């Protein structure tokens, strides 16, 4: 057993010494802690007796730091200790520069890093030791451990009825979106220069809007779009290399996984924002594309930068972004709405996405896509998700238009059952938010805990599935004040953790700022705030009032009632058109984009 002498060369402060003594003893070392106020002479005298592998001294007070510490180094030299005893120093008053200048073998700043301390005692390189002992980062599976067993048989029966009707309805139907997805898959299987690929591309263009055709045929770019240049592409890898380590937002436990959204418009800027999120502890990322891209038939191609929000969906853009994402991070490419929903799944899978995003009711209302069109494209997309073996998440953001949560959840459940029937793995995303419905109804006037608790807990009465509150958590509670914004996000993350969420999506502290792009520092704000609050909470929890139970009962009953209405209607697409999943009175209208494009 190696011996280490721990000495607080400080008249009062010895907390670090006590902590180190416990940690080193647990690690199997003989840790001798000397009392505060010990002199350099006394430390060396003890070292001559104990012959330790290392002397670790700490100093908190700034007064006479250099004089005190250099005295110890001189005495150790004079006593002939240095060949077999390493001298290390740490503490608030000691900088790396001072320690090195005074002749210490090692200097420790910041939080206690035990692998580094042990490496120092053992005379091993500290960086290597940290890397060796850091647990390998393994990409998590969000759906692992969930049985997808329905707990509420009434809801299960209704969903079976609704989804059977829908699957029957989409049979033998297609759209330009499903055709392009098929063509895109075929093109991806062809070599770049093959004549077959050119032939397929011509067929592809026949299914595209004129603006997209003109991009391929004449090279004309939409407004605000430019090609990335060679210099940018050559330099980017120098900034996006894998990080040796990153912070963790969580303090205890492995969940929730922390997701952030990006989509600055420029893949190069996205890559930088992704590295910022990775360094500050994000576990996953969601790709946001421009809303205009969802309104056009067909997707552009190549490496394209865009001056406005949302990064253009092309295979090259996605691959460039993927190259910046660390292998252990999860990556979701959204295709939950719009005319390119099936093709988005194809490109996402080809670029290496881990998760897809599909929601027919939301995309066909809040997402502005025609319900019939998105029903056809959405079911096709779920089939792709199943074939690719990729889980898909189901955002419930229609609540933001004013839809009551029981209607939104009815839609999430229909998508869950549809996914399961088609062999895919769904992840429902109930929104933790202060929605217009809640404001009007006054359901959250006292606190934000009860309703959000009811909204997450109700799922455990219906199905054993991973629940991922999004998107982002705390929607409509944010203001442009960065402290407030980071605080409310962190509070929602902590509540989600307390309620057993599998993952959460977090905004930046620029969530409510609308005059410009999200800044890198705003991304750090919320990750840092969540880390602090999760540290503060640890394994402790929130205490909802009895209202949470009452709201949960109401919500469950509302979901059942809504699903009964949808089942009774006997036509899921008609149910969307007629407002059973969100009506004009709620603030939702059936989408119009792509109307009349479904083909028998």
Partner 1 sequence: MGSARAQVADAIDIETFFICRDAEEAQRLALQLADELNLTDVSIVFLEHAGIGARVRLRSYVHRPGEHYGWLENATQA
**Interface residue list for partner 1 (CB under 8 A):** 224, 226, 231-232, 234-239, 241, 264-266, 268-269, 272-273, 276, 305-307, 479-482, 510, 513, 515-517, 519-521
Instruction: Map tokens 């006292």 to a residue.
Output: 446
Q: Which is nearer to partner 1, 69 or 286 (CB)?
A: 286
Q: Which is nearer to partner 1, 265 or 419 (CB)?
A: 265
Least Cβ distance, residue 494 to partner 1 (angstroms): 24
Q: Phi-psi category of 535—alpha, beta or left, where left has phi over 0 and alpha has psi -120 to 50?
A: alpha
Least Cβ distance, residue 192 to partner 1 (angstroms): 23
Is residue 492 within 8 Å of 451, Cβ to Cβ?
Answer: no
Distance, in Å, from the CA atom of 413 to the CA atom of 566, rounded to the nearest integer, reads 12
Strand partners, 394: 428
Distance, in Å, from the CA atom of 2 to the CA atom of 571, rounded to the nearest integer, reads 75
What beta strand segments (E) does 253-354 contain? 257-262, 284-287, 304-306, 330-334
Q: Which is nearer to partner 1, 245 or 521 (CB)?
A: 521
Q: Which is nearer to partner 1, 305 or 597 (CB)?
A: 305
Q: Which is nearer to partner 1, 282 or 451 (CB)?
A: 282
Q: Which is nearer to partner 1, 46 or 308 (CB)?
A: 308
CA atoms within 13 A on the CB side of 155: 28
DSSP letter, residue 589:
-
Distance, in Å, from the CA atom of 134 to the CA atom of 125, rounded to the nearest integer, reads 14
Nearest to 503 by CA among 353, 315, 285: 285
- The number of helix segments (H) and strand segments (E) in the chain equals 24, 16
Instruction: Map tokens 């839609």 to a residue.
Output: 411
Least Cβ distance, residue 448 to partner 1 (angstroms): 21
Least Cβ distance, residue 528 to partner 1 (angstroms): 15
Least Cβ distance, residue 127 to partner 1 (angstroms): 20
Least Cβ distance, residue 289 to partner 1 (angstroms): 14
Least Cβ distance, residue 481 to partner 1 (angstroms): 5
Q: Phi-psi category of 385—alpha, beta or left, where left has phi over 0 and alpha has psi -120 to 50?
A: alpha
What beta strand segments (E) does 114-222 contain? none
Tell whether omega for the bond before 472 is within 30 degrees of 0, i.e. cis: yes
Distance, in Å, from the CA atom of 302 to the CA atom of 318, rounded to the nearest integer, reads 10
Least Cβ distance, residue 110 to partner 1 (angstroms): 23
Least Cβ distance, residue 476 to partner 1 (angstroms): 17
Least Cβ distance, residue 545 to partner 1 (angstroms): 30
Q: Which is nearer to partner 1, 149 or 515 (CB)?
A: 515
Distance, in Å, from the CA atom of 15 to the CA atom of 482, rounded to the nearest integer, reads 34
Backbone phi and psi for residue 150, each to the nearest 5 degrees, phi listed first? -80, 135
Q: What is the per-residue burial (b if ≥16 Cβ within 10 Å, else e) of 376-387?
A: bbbbbbbbbbbe
Q: Which is nearer to partner 1, 92 or 272 (CB)?
A: 272
Q: Which is nearer to partner 1, 241 or 557 (CB)?
A: 241
């Amino acid at each position: 057993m190696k011996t280490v002498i721990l000495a607080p060369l400080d008249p009062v402060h010895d907390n670090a010494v006590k902590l180190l003594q416990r940690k080193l003893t647990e690690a199997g070392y003989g840790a001798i802690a000397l009392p505060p106020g010990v002199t350099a002479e006394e430390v060396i005298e003890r070292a001559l007796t104990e012959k330790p592998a290392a002397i670790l001294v700490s100093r908190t007070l700034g007064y006479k730091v250099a004089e005190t510490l250099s005295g110890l180094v001189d005495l150790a030299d004079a006593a002939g200790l240095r060949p077999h005893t390493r001298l290390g120093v740490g503490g608030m008053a000691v900088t790396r520069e001072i320690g090195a200048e005074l002749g210490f073998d090692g200097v420790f700043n910041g939080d206690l890093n035990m692998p580094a301390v042990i490496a120092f005692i053992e005379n091993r390189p500290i960086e290597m030791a940290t890397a060796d002992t850091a647990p390998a980062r393994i990409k998590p599976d969000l759906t692992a451990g969930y049985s997808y067993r329905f707990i509420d048989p009434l809801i299960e029966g209704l969903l079976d009825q609704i989804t059977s009707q829908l699957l029957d309805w989409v049979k033998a139907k297609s759209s330009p979106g499903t055709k392009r997805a098929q063509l895109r898959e075929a093109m991806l299987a062809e070599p770049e220069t093959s004549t077959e690929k050119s032939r397929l591309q011509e067929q592809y263009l026949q299914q595209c809007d004129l603006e997209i055709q003109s991009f391929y045929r004449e090279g004309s770019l939409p407004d605000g779009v430019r090609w990335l240049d060679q210099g940018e592409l050559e330099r980017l890898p120098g900034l996006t290399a894998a990080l040796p380590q990153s912070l963790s937002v969580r303090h205890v436990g492995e969940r929730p996984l922390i997701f952030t959204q990006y989509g600055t418009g420029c893949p190069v800027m996205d890559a930088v924002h992704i590295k910022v999120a990775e360094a500050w502890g994000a576990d996953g990322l969601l790709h946001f594309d421009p809303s205009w891209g969802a309104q056009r038939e067909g997707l552009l191609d190549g490496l394209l930068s865009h001056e406005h929000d949302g990064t253009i969906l092309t295979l090259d853009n996605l691959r460039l972004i993927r190259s910046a994402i660390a292998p252990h991070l999860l990556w979701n490419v959204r295709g939950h709405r719009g005319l390119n929903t099936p093709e988005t799944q194809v490109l996402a899978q080809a670029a290496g996405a881990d998760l897809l995003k599909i929601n027919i009711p939301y995309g066909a209302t809040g997402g502005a896509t025609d319900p019939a069109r998105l029903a056809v494209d959405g079911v096709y997309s779920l089939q792709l998700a199943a074939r690719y073996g990729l889980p898909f998440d189901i955002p419930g953001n229609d609540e933001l238009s004013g839809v009551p949560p029981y209607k939104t959840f009815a839609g999430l459940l229909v998508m869950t059952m549809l996914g399961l029937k088609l062999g895919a793995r769904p992840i429902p995303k109930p929104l933790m938010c202060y929605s217009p419905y809640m404001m009007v109804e006054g359901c959250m006037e006292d606190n934000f805990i009860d309703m959000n608790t009811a909204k997450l807990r109700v799922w455990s009465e219906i199905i054993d599935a991973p629940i991922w509150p999004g998107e982002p958590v705390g929607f409509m509670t944010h203001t442009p004040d960065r402290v407030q914004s980071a605080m409310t996000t962190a509070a929602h993350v902590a509540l989600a953790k307390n309620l057993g969420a599998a993952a959460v999506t977090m905004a930046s502290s620029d969530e409510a700022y609308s005059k410009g792009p999200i800044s890198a520092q705003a991304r750090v704000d919320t990750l840092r705030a969540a880390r602090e609050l999760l540290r503060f909470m640890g394994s402790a929890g929130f205490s909802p009032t009895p209202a949470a139970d009452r709201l949960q009962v109401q919500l469950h009953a509302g979901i059942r009632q809504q699903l009964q209405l949808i089942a009774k209607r006997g036509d899921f697409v008609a149910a969307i058109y007629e407002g059973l999943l969100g009506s004009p009175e709620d603030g939702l209208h059936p989408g119009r984009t792509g109307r009349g494009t479904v083909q028998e």
